[in-house]
Amino acid sequence: MRQAQVAGRPQSNSAAQPLIAASRVTRILPGVVPTTLVHDIDLTIGARQYVAITGPSGSGKSSLLYLLGLLDLPTVGEVRISGRATAHMNEAERAQIRLSTLGFIFQFHFLLPEFSALENVTLPMQALGELPAEAMRERGRSLLASLGLADHAAKRPDQLSGGQRQRVAVARALANDPPVILADEPTGSLDSKSSEQVFQILRDLVDQRGKTVIAVTHDLDMARRMDRRIVLQDGSIVSDEAKAS
């Protein structure tokens, strides 16, 4: 099922520099026996890419995604976002990059249950603070409509199906029109029909809106249909291949 084009400004096709670049990134959890989550990752991801991160459970997939999204900090190495070094940024600076440049989708939607779908979508806009209230609501309604949810804007999450809630989460990730969407098992809690809808929505974000989508997934069929597949094993990249055209 192909979805309508998602609202937002057209993205540049320029790939002069990577949107995300990880250099020698290692994450170690301290403890009596330290645990290495990811080890010595070198990775660049450019514009208009649909990237799968796969591997067995415990291989470091989500840990790598959180590092790329500045939700966690490397013990060693650095992640650069659109050429900007982040190693010495404070949390407020990293939060600003997350709000303006990165959108997040998780396996469980994490919508606030007391708020309507529209209110959930406008929360990132409120945090960024660049639009007046009515412009935020207008953009939120446009995003929901583009995802087939025009008639559900006033509903709370508990009034929506699982697939509808995940589409609201996609709209929320797009709220500030970021160039990069990071998704952690975005179809993991959905039935096959809803999973295909979400997959196609993400596909359209790349093809129609020029976004880069980086998705952690256990779904090998989904991964094979993406443009690039990065495979992790024991916290290290063991394969990084583009899909054959």
Domains assigned to the chain:
20-239 (3.40.50.300)
pLDDT tens for each residue of 25-63: 999 999 888 999 999 999 999 999 999 999 999 999 999
pLDDT at 195: 87
In degrees and rounded to multiples of 5, residue 170 shows phi and psi of -65, -45
pLDDT surpassing 80 at residue 10:
no
pLDDT at 9: 40
pLDDT surpassing 70 at residue 233:
yes
pTM of the model: 0.89
Higher pLDDT, 5 or 71: 71
pLDDT tens for each residue of 85-104: 998 999 999 999 999 999 99
> Edge-to-edge strand order for the sheet containing 180-184?
102-106, 180-184, 212-216, 50-54, 228-233, 236-242
Please give the DSSP secondary-structure letter assigned to residue 170: H
- Cβ neighbours of residue 188 under 8 Å, at least 6 residues apart? 107, 217, 218, 219
What pLDDT band is residue 3 in, cutting at 50, 70 and 90? very low
pLDDT at 191: 85
Q: Count Cα atoms within 13 angstroms, Cβ side, for 109.
A: 24
Mean pLDDT computed over 180-207: 89
